Amino acid sequence: MGEGRDTNTQKAQQLNIKAAIAIANTVRSTLGPYGMDKMSVDNQGHFVVTNDGATILRELDVAHPGARMVVDMSKTQEQECKDGTTSVVVLAGKLLENAERLLAKGVHPHVICKGYRQASLTAVQSLNDSRKLKEEYSPDEIMLKVAQTAICGKSAELEDATTIAQMVVDAVTLVDGDDSRIKVVSQVGGTFADSKLFDGVVLNKEFASTIKPQWDGKNAPIVLLNTGLTPPPMHDSMRVQLGSMAEVQQFQMAEQRMLVERAKALIQLDAGYVFCRDGVHEAIIHTLAQEGIGVVSRVPQSDMEAISRLTGEPIYHMTEDIPLNVDGHTVRYATVTEHTIGDIRYISVEVDDDNADGVSTLVLRGATRQTVDELERAFDDAIGVTALAYRDNDCLPGAGAPYIYAAKTILNSSKDVEGRERLAIEAFAESLYCIPVTIAENAGHNALDTLLKVEQINSPRYGIDATTCELIDAVDVGIIEPKAVVRQVVLSATEVANAILRIDDIIGRRGEDTGQPA
């Protein structure tokens, strides 16, 4: 089987469990509104300072397969809910830590997995017991509270949290909860007060010509090309023999005429602006500029799609693909304006149509690159969970309340279970307490005192106040989070913990390319 085989089942389990717990311990101190920051430094000295769990785990250099399973789980949490990445890793680490104690007592891994699975289903079911928040808050108020809760603990909180949260809610409302239609543009310089929400698309680009388009800032037809406006490339195997300088000049003039014809085709379409995914030849830029047509080249595909969604204008591959009618080019109109933000020039695209699909752009400003990057990460999380609350309209009290109530529900249901499986169910309930306890611990409070307090809670509304370490009604104080985030945290942490516990051996596999042991 090769030298990579480890026949010691207990040792293999311990290695995987310890690797997963090490990942959890790395991000544990970042959980909650008073979580600490981490500085990640690479070999070139580039560094990132953040307390965003997803960013920290993405920057980690993880080699152990057990630890990578936990990191992959956090990526799934980020993709599904945009938040809860730190919580899911901390909970998975606690589940494995408690499982390790059960293994030392002689409880079989399958018994632990069965108990964990049953407890997780009970925990998810308990989330339905929370009182509906619609009775106390309007949908807009719920989204605002969700955004404020998501921002809490980020460096962006140092700014006006209410202003930030309202900006997030406005952006999500403009796009009807589709966060993929929200773009964030960050620019160093100024302060956060200079940030703004733009109802449209903002490109980190400028017009290809220094000649100002005649339609700048005015409503005009646009053309979107999913290609460039350059001469066709010569094939490597192609050889052209020219016998005289006259033939060389004719060859060059033929290429020039072809470019001019392409420019004339756009002029005949009555286009006001042309957006191209690839480069544009200078001859075409000059010809179009003489006609007052603005050209923007090398526009990223995501921005092209955003402009298309905003204006309703299809993205064509070639100018020949664009249909004509008796009135000319059948395009949508848009207002395109060039701006200067700091020392960077931007182009904005907006439409005056209430029926158009909403596309919004957040332009963030900050004093340093680190500040702006952290603001962008904070907004990304807040936008994701707010959009989730907008779509699902199903939220729960925060401050650890769902985990506390789920633990209580599991402990009550475990009284009807007999045998060693009950030990696993109780261990799962105890693991859920790690979320509120860690939140309080990161705020400087004693973990044991916090645990004694949360064990007294029997209501789905009550959680822990990180500032005072007192019990609070999370709904009354406005700490709210989407139900989908908590549900995904519980299910993902359980799944990865069970997956690691079921591994009883680590085997070296054959290399795919060399046929040698890996």
Which residues are part of the catalytic machinery?
52, 85-86, 381
Q: Which long-range contacts (CB under 8 A, 24 or more apart) does 237-246 make?
A: none
CB-CB contact of 367 with 425 (8 Å): no
Instruction: Determine the Cα–Cα distance for residues 441 and 414; give it in Å rounded to an integer.
Output: 28
Q: Coil, strand, or helix at residue 389?
A: helix
Burial 389-406 (b: 16+ CB within 10 A, else e): bbeebbbbbbbbbbbbbb
Residue type, 69: M
Put residue 248 in one of left, alpha, beta given phi > 0 → left and psi -120 to 50 → alpha. alpha
Token duo for residue 158: 């140092």
Instruction: Determine the Cα–Cα distance for residues 436 and 432; give it in Å rounded to an integer.
Output: 8
What is the gyration radius of the CA atoms in the chain, in angstroms? 29
Q: State the distance between the two ends of the chain, measured CA to CA, in whole angstroms.
A: 12
Residues whose CB falls within 8 Å of the CB of residue 484, separated by 6 or more in sequence, listed in order: 80, 81, 388, 392, 394
Token duo for residue 397: 């009290």
Residue type, 337: T
Instruction: Determine the Cα–Cα distance for residues 10 and 45; give it in Å rounded to an integer.
Output: 40
Instruction: Determine the Cα–Cα distance for residues 428 and 276; give it in Å rounded to an integer.
Output: 55
Q: How many residues does this entry show for the chain?
A: 518
Instruction: Determine the Cα–Cα distance for residues 447 and 467; give it in Å rounded to an integer.
Output: 14
Residue 75's nearest CA partner among 492, 366, 503, 395 is 492
Residue 481's nearest CA partner among 150, 151, 1, 86 is 150
Token duo for residue 318: 């070639």
Instruction: Determine the Cα–Cα distance for residues 143 and 133; give it in Å rounded to an integer.
Output: 11
Q: Coil, strand, or helix at residue 106?
A: coil
Sheet holding 360-366, edge to edge: 182-188, 360-366, 196-198
